Amino acid sequence: MRITDDTTIGVIVDIQEKLLPFISGAETIVPATVRLIRGLQLVGVPVIYTEQYPKGLGPTVPDIIAELPLLDPMIKSSFSCCDDNPFREALAQSGKKTVLLAGIEAHVCMLQTAVDLVELGYNPVVIADCTGSRSPFDRDIAFGRMRHEGVRISTVESILFELTRYSGTPRFKEISRLVK
Residues 21-36 pLDDT 10s = 999 999 999 999 999 9
Catalogue the E-assigned strands of the chain: 8-13, 47-52, 74-76, 98-104, 123-132, 152-154
pLDDT digits (tens, 9 = 90+) for 156-169: 999 999 999 999 89
Identify whether the C-beta of residue 142 lies closer than 8 Å to the C-beta of residue 111: yes
Alpha-carbon distance of 151 to 117, in angstroms, equals 9
Bond prior to 105 in cis (omega within 30° of 0): yes
Go through the chain and tell me how many residues it has. 180
The predicted model gives 85-100 an average pLDDT of 96
CATH of domain 5-179: 3.40.50.850
pLDDT digits (tens, 9 = 90+) for 50-65: 999 999 999 999 999 9
Q: What is the pLDDT of residue 136?
A: 97
Q: What is the mean pLDDT of the chain?
A: 96
Residue 108 has pLDDT above 90, yes or no: yes
pLDDT digits (tens, 9 = 90+) for 134-154: 999 999 999 999 999 999 999
Residue 1 has pLDDT above 90, yes or no: no
Share of the chain above pLDDT 70, in %: 100
Residue 180 has pLDDT above 90, yes or no: no
Identify whether the C-beta of residue 71 lies closer than 8 Å to the C-beta of residue 50: no
Q: What is the pLDDT of residue 124?
A: 98
